[in-house]
Structure formats: C-alpha cells, structure tokens
Structure 1
C-alpha cells in the first residue's frame, strides 16, 4: 500500500463519519482516528523481520494555507465542493457543451460537472441555489475531496 492509497483511505474515513478504523494486512497495520475539532492522524507501521524495531510514521492532514486565504476572500459566495477524489470534467463528453457557464443559474439538483474516480464518472449536483460566479478548477485536472470547484452567489 503506497502513500497515495493511504491518503485516499484517510479522506474516505473522514467523509464516512467513522471515529476510528483499523486495517491490518500481512505487512502493514493502519489505524485512522478522526474527531470533531481534532486533526486526523494516521499511524503506519510496516511489519519488520523479528529483531528489527517497528517505526511509526505520522501523516497529519491539514488544509493548505493558500486554500484558507482563498476562503476568507470569498465569504459572500457559496462553494460547490468535490465530494470525492478524482479528475474534474466540465463536459459530459469531449464534443458536448459544458454543464454550466459563469452566469448560469443553478438549483440544488443542477448537474454542474463530473468527477471521474476509478474509471467511474460521477455527476456532481450543485446542492445550492444561485448564480455561478467563478469556475475554480481547469477541465481535466485532478481534484481532492472537499476541494472547491465553483463559487455561487446565493439567490
């Protein structure tokens, strides 16, 4: 299991609302604990041959400071965020028009984009009502769980 898979597992557990998950495989043990107001931390211990000490590795999950600064500037707008990790697409197919443009009015059920994860294309609904003010992600780029995709002026 590589670091990317572990990070994806952390985000999945955080989204699920579980407070603790333990995963034990032949060569690795992982415990993920989440809590309200606490930073989530993953402890990874690789199985070692007898006689060698096991070294725990802590992987804190923190929001980048640039993302925090961007959120402070956009307090008047609602954000449509990515519910999953994957690749962001504005169109249902290359030859089709984009789902929404800046200036379009959306409601909670309007499909605004797709996020492809593990070869599955997931339609993302706005979940808010208002007017699209800004598209924050380039078409075809990777997105993270909770990453803002669009800014919406509430109606």
Structure 2
C-alpha cells in the first residue's frame, strides 16, 4: 500500500496538472483520483481482498485552511438514504462518516457542539469534525432538515459509513 506522504504527493501532482482522472494499481491495491470542478481531488484506496472497502478518502479544501494540516484536505461527505423505520422515529436520512477517525462534536474542547438534537441544518452546515491521521476534516450536512438524534459521543472512534446523525429532511 502507498504511504500517506506518497498519496499527498500524488494529490498535489494531479491538482497541478490538467489530468482529470488517475488510477494506480500495485500489489493488490488500487488508488483512484478524480477531479471535479478543477479544484478537488477524491482519493480512494481499495484493497483487492475486500474490493468495496475504502481505506483513504480526501479532497483538498478550496475555501479555508483546516487547522494542523500540512496539506489542506477535506473529505467528501458520504451520506446515504435510509428508509423510514417503523420504530416511531421521524428520521428519514442519516449523515454517515466518510472515513475512519475520531469524532469531535465541537471545534475545540471548550466550545459548544456544532449541532445537537433539534438543530436546524442547511446543506453547508458543519455538523462535526472527523480527525484522521492528524487531519481535522469538517463534515457538512449536505441536506436541509433537523437533527433528530446524535448517534455518537464526542471523542469516539468512528468507522467508514457509520451513521453519525439521524435527520428529518425538510
């Protein structure tokens, strides 16, 4: 597998070039990068033994720097539609973790949480931070609605695709 520094160098090279899509395969590992809007790069590293497992996913941020990051990277937020459950919950959408990392509900230990139960969301509302390899990645809602339930605790380790919030869409 590629090292983090090698992936960062690939991201820089792809961002600085006219290449819009790049795939690299070695030793059963595939790394695919794709530009969208000529400003962001998505990196997916897939191990052949588990073909659908995403190991690394990142996009360089184009808005503002993220603290403590030597390479400004922000993840692509991965969300999924969930069918309405019969348990009486009014949630009809889940915001899921786009990567493996540590969940933080606020920008600093002394700050209030980004969102809590009952918070109103817009598409660009930051709902939490997921720290992965010393990079603090702000996760946006990408949906308009209201937080119905917060599913993880501050400082908890989260997995790729793990539900973080239940949302009632508006």
The alignment's TM-score, normalised by the length of structure 1, stands at 0.57
Alpha-carbon offset, residue 76 of structure 1:
4.7
More helix by share: 1
Secondary structure at 1:98 match in 2: coil
1:84 partnered with 2:82? no
Work out the number of aligned pairs and report it. Answer: 108
1:22 partnered with 2:25? yes
1:109 partnered with 2:109? no
Alpha-carbon offset, residue 59 of structure 1:
4.0
Give the CA RMSD over aligned residues: 3.1
CA 1:75–1:146 in 2, change beyond 3 Å: closer, same or farther? farther
State whether residues 91 and 148 of structure 2, in contact with CA within 8 Å, keep that contact through their aligned partners in structure 1: no
CA 1:147–1:78 in 2, change beyond 3 Å: closer, same or farther? same
Cα distance between partner residues in 2 of 1:31 and 1:150: 31
1:142 partnered with 2:142? no
Cα distance between partner residues in 2 of 1:121 and 1:144: 15
Look up the match of 1:96. 111
Structure 1 unmatched ranges of 5 or more: 6-17, 24-28, 34-40, 44-57, 63-70
Deviations 1:97-151 (A, max 9, x none): 1111101111101111001111111111110011100001111111122221100
Structure 2 unmatched ranges of 5 or more: 4-20, 32-45, 54-81
Deviations 1:2-49 (A, max 9, x none): xxx9xxxxxxxxxxxx9x7522xxxxx22459xxxxxxx844xxxxxx
In the TM superposition, 1:1-155 aligns within 5 A as 22-23=25-26, 29-32=27-30, 42-43=47-48, 58-59=49-50, 73=85, 76-155=91-170
